[in-house]
Amino acid sequence: MAQSSAGPDVERGASIRLLWTGFAVLLADQVTKKLIVSLMALGHSVDILGPSVRLTRTENTGAAFGLLRGRSAIFVVISSLAAVAIVAFRRQIAKLARSEQFAFALILGGALGNLVDRVRRGAVIDFIDVGIRDLRWPAFNVADSAIVIGVTFLAVRFLFFARPGAPHALPLPRDRETE
């Protein structure tokens, strides 16, 4: 991952941008979920682009795509740790390329969006439903989308575009023999 040599003012601006972008994702997620909850009954579907793209109100007590249902408490802890880690490492993240900073902001906002649901409702509101006939992708939401986009971008960037010896987003453990 590319790292810039930014001064304190640039890093402060990048940290603020990270937090505001994360907040914007959180806000977009919560507003869309509020609309869905106020306009649709649980289980109700509305075709948007024919039957291929629908709005279907569901609730998920598990992880993304309905995995590990009923384990909401575990995901409260995981979401909290992810959000705290991103905020705690915001100065290091601020030194990364803007695209990488944006990916971390997406993950932060998404983690907080689903965390709010889990704490307030005990389940996450999902409503984006895509597929063909009976072959449907599990319903998801804005927060899920933000997390998947951010994590995928960082994974692709790290796996396929990282240069050997380039600094990483988070400090890696040092080899004890070289200290």
What does each of the 179 residues of the chain score in pLDDT, given as a tens digit? 544 455 677 788 888 999 999 999 999 999 999 999 999 999 999 999 999 999 999 998 876 666 666 667 788 899 999 999 999 999 999 989 899 999 999 999 999 999 999 999 999 999 999 999 889 999 999 999 999 999 999 999 988 887 666 555 444 444 444 44
Residue 61, pLDDT score: 81
Taking phi over 0 as left and psi of -120 to 50 as alpha, with beta for the rest, 70 belongs to: left
Residue 129 in any domain: the answer is yes
Catalytic residue among 29, 117, 126, 129: 126
pTM score of the predicted model: 0.82
Active site residue 126: yes
Active site residue 134: no
Residue 1 in any domain: the answer is no
Which phi and psi angles does 2 have, rounded to 5°?
Answer: -75, 140
Residue 2 in any domain: the answer is no
Catalytic residue among 29, 117, 129, 144: 144
Residue 171 in any domain: the answer is no
Residue 177, pLDDT score: 46
Q: How far apart (Å, rounded) are the C-alpha atoms in residues 46 and 77?
A: 33
Residue 83, pLDDT score: 95
Residue 179 in any domain: the answer is no
Residue 178 in any domain: the answer is no
Q: In which domain, by residue range, is 137 found?
A: 8-162
Residue 175, pLDDT score: 42
Residue 168 in any domain: the answer is no
Report the domain count for the chain. 1
Which residue is it, tokens 């994360």? Answer: 22
Residue 123 in any domain: the answer is yes
